[in-house]
Amino acid sequence: MATINALDQLRKEPELEWSYLSPSAELKPGQRTGKFRLENDQLLVDATGQSKISVQDYAVAMIDELERPTHVRQRFTVGY
């Protein structure tokens, strides 16, 4: 029996408006810079191959999406 994950379930609900924000591989407290990158359904890495974002900047990205939706019915990610 196949397990249906939350994203798959959301995609099956045409009447719902949703956005699915995925953090970088490393999510930990740090400074709020307001300078980060957004990408669609792929992990963001920097020039050294690290994938990270502070909790503070993750929150900024989430609030930005709530105030000005640009990823409706999409999964997106945030990272440096």
19-22 β-sheet, strand order: 19-22, 74-79, 37-39
- pLDDT given at position 10: 87
Beta carbons within 8 Å of 48's beta carbon, 6+ residues apart? none
Segment 4-47, tens digit of pLDDT: 688 888 889 989 999 999 999 999 999 999 999 999 988 999 99
pLDDT(49) > 90:
yes
pLDDT(2) > 80:
no
